[in-house]
Amino acid sequence: MTSREIVAAPPYPVVAAVFVVCAIVLGGGGSPNPGTEVLLQLLFVALALVWLWLPSRQGATPMPRSASFWLICALVLALPLIQLVPLPPAVWTGLSGNEDRAAALALVGREKAWQPLTHSSPRTLAALLAIVPALFAFFAAASLDARGRLWVVGAIAAMAVAASLLGALQVSLGPGAAPYLYAQNGATLTGFQANRNATADVLLIGIAASAALFVPSLARTRTAGALLTNRRAAAVVLAGTIAVLFFAILLTASRMGIALVPLAFAGVWLILLPALPDRHLLRFVPAVAALAAVPVVAAAALQLGNTALGKVAERFVFADDSRRELWRDAWFAVTQAWPFGIGVGGAQPALIAAERLEVLDHGLPNRVHNDYLELALEGGLPALVLIVATASVLLVVAWRTWHRRPEERHLTALGLVILLVVALHSFADYPLRSMALACLAGTGAGLLISSPRKPAANEPST
């Protein structure tokens, strides 16, 4: 974007970009840092009001016209809302998985009281409120046109680079001297997040966002939203940005984050395809050579005794990985609460109750470290059905947008990469429990929705 375009910045994309920046910083602390999460929720309220009050050149506040958008919102909100509805005693006591709960309430004479499906209404309500900022990110991205979405993409890329620079200080200065926003996590790069896994996801998403941001600059024809007018300069800046983010991912020492690097690079290739109309194989040789050089340099640094990379290599010894024991306890808890679950947000007390004595230690299990298993524990069969339904709607929407808006395929591809990073990492961690990553996932889902424009007479909404 030129300096003139920045000065005359449209208000709605700026609001969305500011929210994404604040979400990455304030939403990165996780449940041990509720203060910053509350600030993010208050910020959401303020920016939502600003969004409604800002004047629009078209005379109307930007809103998603897609029916799929509202369907996805309904699917996401359905589980916690249903779990909070009080049920008569004849209903909830007759549901499988509530036997122990009914026996416990009978001890205090409350077995005949109306109770919701969730075992802890405050926890489920807190989880519901934590979802709302992510839905605002979804709403904002889906409401903007293609040019406005580049502001959000630029904010994600800029914050990923900023996180890598902050992380470089953290790694170089070491524990005690390094600037950490949240609790220290050893001598690893954490940036604006509380743990290395969330940071790795932000950086992976940042790699893809950087590629999408530079697509207008790399296009052969002059395209609106181009950061640089010189294609060669744009290619050099993009390559340098990707290299910085790649090494930052290595220094997080996140095993799953490093394993997902090929996905990010494949996403970069898919995102840049619109800027490469001449697709002869020779055009891919420089890109392949550059990508091949990165692990070679990393291996050379490791052989030369780089202590930071040596610690990363040590992380790939899985002999003492406690996740497997945690999953066993979580599976037992799932079978006890099946098929309706214990309520969104209630995983920790359920894990404590199910923890076996032979694996008991001084620490408390905070999460299942597998979001799908945790959702099965908290929401049972209804949660799994809603996940499949939401994923199916997103895939259909992405397919339609990909074919109907070929000029926006770099943004659609970015949305897919964001959601894939989160979905795959969820097998070994809990990225969606971070409000920062939940907001990024909401942004990715919004990029799959066709951007607002006047549709053709024979073009239905998606």
Percentage, residues of the chain above pLDDT 70: 80
Percentage, residues of the chain above pLDDT 90: 32
Q: Is position 290 within any domain?
A: yes
Across the chain, what does the average pLDDT equal? 81
Residue 381 confidence class, pLDDT cut points 50, 70, 90: very high
String of DSSP letters for 368-424: -S-HHHHHHHHHHHHHHHHHHHHHHHHHHHHHHHHHH-GGGHHHHHHHHHHHHHHHH
- Tell whether the model's pLDDT for residue 295 goes beyond 70: no
Closest CA to 285 of 275, 296, 293, 295: 293
CB-based contact 420:114 (threshold 8 Å): no
Q: Is position 301 within any domain?
A: yes
- pLDDT digit string, tens, across residues 85-124: 998 988 888 887 777 788 888 888 787 888 888 888 899 9
What confidence score (pLDDT) does residue 301 get?
A: 52
What is residue 331's three-state secondary structure?
Answer: helix
- pLDDT digit string, tens, across residues 72-92: 999 999 999 999 999 898 888
Provide, for the chain, the percentages of residues in helix, strand and coil under a 3-state DSSP scheme, each rounded to the nearest 5: 70, 0, 30
CB-based contact 250:258 (threshold 8 Å): yes
What confidence score (pLDDT) does residue 228 get?
A: 72
Q: Is position 439 within any domain?
A: yes
- Tell whether the model's pLDDT for residue 302 goes beyond 60: no
Residue range 396-413: mean pLDDT, rounded:
91
Which of the two residues, 185 and 371, has the higher pLDDT score? 371
- Tell whether the model's pLDDT for residue 147 goes beyond 50: yes
- DSSP alpha helix (H) spans, 28-120: 34-53, 67-83, 89-92, 99-106
Tokens of residue 227, six digits = 């950061």
- Tell whether the model's pLDDT for residue 194 goes beyond 90: no
What confidence score (pLDDT) does residue 208 get?
A: 94
Q: Is position 115 within any domain?
A: yes
* Burial category of 453 from C-beta neighbours within 10 Å (exposed 0-12, middle 13-18, buried 19 and up): exposed
- Tell whether the model's pLDDT for residue 224 goes beyond 50: yes
Residue 196 confidence class, pLDDT cut points 50, 70, 90: confident
- Domain span holding position 386: 3-94+104-448
- Tell whether the model's pLDDT for residue 146 goes beyond 90: no
CB-based contact 196:257 (threshold 8 Å): yes
Q: Is position 279 within any domain?
A: yes
What confidence score (pLDDT) does residue 312 get?
A: 54
Most confident of 50-54, 282-286, 400-404: 400-404
Write the DSSP symbol of residue 87: B
What confidence score (pLDDT) does residue 112 get?
A: 80
Residue range 133-147: mean pLDDT, rounded:
92
Q: Is position 460 within any domain?
A: no
Q: Is position 208 within any domain?
A: yes
Closest CA to 293 of 236, 229, 232, 243: 243
What confidence score (pLDDT) does residue 231 get?
A: 79
What confidence score (pLDDT) does residue 385 get?
A: 94
The domain tally of the chain equals: 1
What confidence score (pLDDT) does residue 354 get?
A: 73
Residue 136 confidence class, pLDDT cut points 50, 70, 90: very high
Q: How far does CA 369 lie from the centroid of its chain?
A: 15
- Tell whether the model's pLDDT for residue 325 goes beyond 70: yes
- How far is it, in rounded angstroms, from Cα 244 to Cα 249? 9
Q: Is position 455 within any domain?
A: no
What confidence score (pLDDT) does residue 169 get?
A: 84
Output the CA–CA distances (angstroms, integers) from residue 242 to 134, 164, 254, 321, 408, in the order listed.
26, 11, 18, 30, 22
- Full-model pTM: 0.86
